[in-house]
Amino acid sequence: MVTSSEWRRSTYARKTAGLDIMDVINSSRFWKKAVDVLKIQEPLVKVLRMCDGDEKPTMGFIYEAMDKAKLTIQRDCLYYKKYSKIIDRRWSNQLHGDLHSTIEWWINYGSCAPQLQCIAIKVLSQTTLSSNCERN
């Protein structure tokens, strides 16, 4: 964008703010950080897309998908600990609610309560929705 002839002809290219923007966009530091953002964002978007569907039940797969996403981020990102805290806080506040705690309980103790199996299967067979991750 900032190397195009259209940009060079624009009045913004000669203003201080425009020159500052050019410096940022042309810097290798900016692009390294952009790559880092993509390394964090891609695994999380995959989880959101998996959850945002009506084709198959996803409730029982959310934990595994998040674990895989976090492992991918840890493997690919230098600043994993910083982002891990953000992801864990968000996971705890929003996604790790009563229903998800019930799933954990079921994994540990479900075989002792066969009467609940029918209900648990219905709950875990539900599709999930993440409307903030709409596909265009």
Closest to 74 measured CA to CA, from 115, 39, 109, 123: 39
Q: What are phi and psi of 17, to 5 degrees?
A: -60, -40
Q: Is residue 78 part of a domain?
A: yes
Q: Is residue 51 part of a domain?
A: yes
Q: Is residue 3 part of a domain?
A: no
Range of the domain at 123: 37-133
Count of C-beta atoms within a 10 Å radius of residue 73: 20
Burial annotation 13-25 (CB, 10 A radius, 16+ → b, else e): eeeeeeeebbeee
The domain tally of the chain equals 1
Q: Is residue 106 part of a domain?
A: yes
Residuewise pLDDT in 10s, the chain (136 residues): 777 888 888 888 888 988 888 898 889 999 988 888 888 889 988 888 887 766 666 666 777 888 899 999 999 887 788 888 888 888 777 665 666 666 677 677 777 777 777 777 777 666 655 555 555 4
Q: Is residue 114 part of a domain?
A: yes
pTM above 0.85, yes or no: no
* Distance between CA atoms of residues 36 and 100, nearest Å: 30
Q: Is residue 23 part of a domain?
A: no
Q: Is residue 32 part of a domain?
A: no
Q: Is residue 121 part of a domain?
A: yes
